[in-house]
Amino acid sequence: MIRTTSVADVSARCVKVSTGATTTERIHQINQFDYLAGPNGTWTFLGNGTHLRDEDGRLLLVAGGKFVMDLLTGEILEATPNSNPNFSYMCKFMGG
């Protein structure tokens, strides 16, 4: 097994072109990838996944925790309640 770990501090601005809806995202996270033989392995996400804000700076969502995803199938193997491993929250805040 090979394990890699990265620490990320990211700022992102998301704009839905058709509506002009804009959000900003602040992400603080630790990513751990465990690679087994071949393409098998897992991705473990730990941390404050996002601080999502609207154009006025109003806080819309704080998501964080831990999730573990199978790298081959994309299946979520483990997730804490507020980790939002499927990132579906973006649709709600971007107008559908």
pLDDT digits over 4-52, tens only?
888 888 888 888 788 888 888 888 788 888 887 666 788 888 887 778 8
pLDDT at 85 over 80: no
Give the domain range for residue 42.
Answer: 2-85
pTM of the model: 0.63
In a domain, 68, yes or no: yes
In a domain, 33, yes or no: yes
pLDDT at 87 over 80: no
Q: Which has more pLDDT, 12 or 90?
A: 12
In a domain, 62, yes or no: yes
In a domain, 90, yes or no: no
In a domain, 94, yes or no: no
Contact status, residue 8 vs residue 46, Cβ threshold 8 Å? no
In a domain, 60, yes or no: yes
pLDDT at 96 over 60: no
Domains of the chain: total: 1
In a domain, 49, yes or no: yes
* pLDDT tens track for 53-81: 888 888 888 888 888 888 888 899 999 88
In a domain, 64, yes or no: yes
